[in-house]
């Protein structure tokens, strides 16, 4: 059987997989970025053991991508956000983050207590 900290880490991974794949490809613009971030946070916080989700849109990156295209929006990808998810499983807390790492939106475990 997995330990409670191992289960907390597993749950954090499930939350990230759900968040990323649920919202990847969503049309986003500077005007809709805040509401998309809020929708992402609220949707994932509904899941079991999820204590909190913070989504920060990387506005400069978003605006640059839109400027390169022909529309006034683009599709959401991980390069446009920094995300933190905190999971509490039976008192074991796992914090996971998605941040850009050498041009790639990398999800990683930040801490387990």
Domains in the chain, start-ordered, CATH in brackets? Answer: 4-112 (3.30.1300.20)
Residue 56: the pLDDT is 97
Would you say 107 is a known binding-site residue? yes
User: What own/partner pairs with CB < 8 Å and gap ≥ 24 does 56-61 have?
Assistant: 56/81, 56/82, 56/83, 57/28, 57/33, 57/81, 58/82, 58/100, 59/30, 59/33
Residue 2: the pLDDT is 95
pLDDT band at 103 (very low <50, low <70, confident <90, very high): confident
SS3 content of the chain, % helix, strand, coil (to 5): 40, 35, 25
Provide the whole-model pTM.
0.93
Would you say 63 is a known binding-site residue? no
pLDDT, tens digit (0-9, with 9 covering 90-100), for 30-83: 999 999 999 999 999 999 999 999 999 999 999 999 999 999 999 999 999 999
The runs of H, that is alpha helices, within the chain are 4-23, 33-45, 59-68
């Amino acid at each position: 059987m997995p330990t409670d900290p191992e289960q907390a880490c597993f749950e954090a991974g499930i939350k990230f997989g759900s968040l990323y794949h649920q919202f990847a490809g969503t049309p986003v613009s500077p005007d809709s970025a805040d509401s998309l971030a809020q929708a992402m946070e609220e949707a994932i916080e509904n899941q079991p053991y999820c204590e909190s989700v913070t989504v920060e849109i990387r506005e400069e990156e978003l605006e640059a991508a839109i400027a390169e295209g022909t529309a006034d929006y683009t599709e959401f990808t991980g390069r446009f956000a920094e995300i933190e998810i905190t999971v509490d499983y039976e008192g074991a807390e796992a914090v996971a983050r998605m941040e850009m790492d050498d041009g790639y939106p990398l999800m990683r475990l930040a801490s387990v207590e």
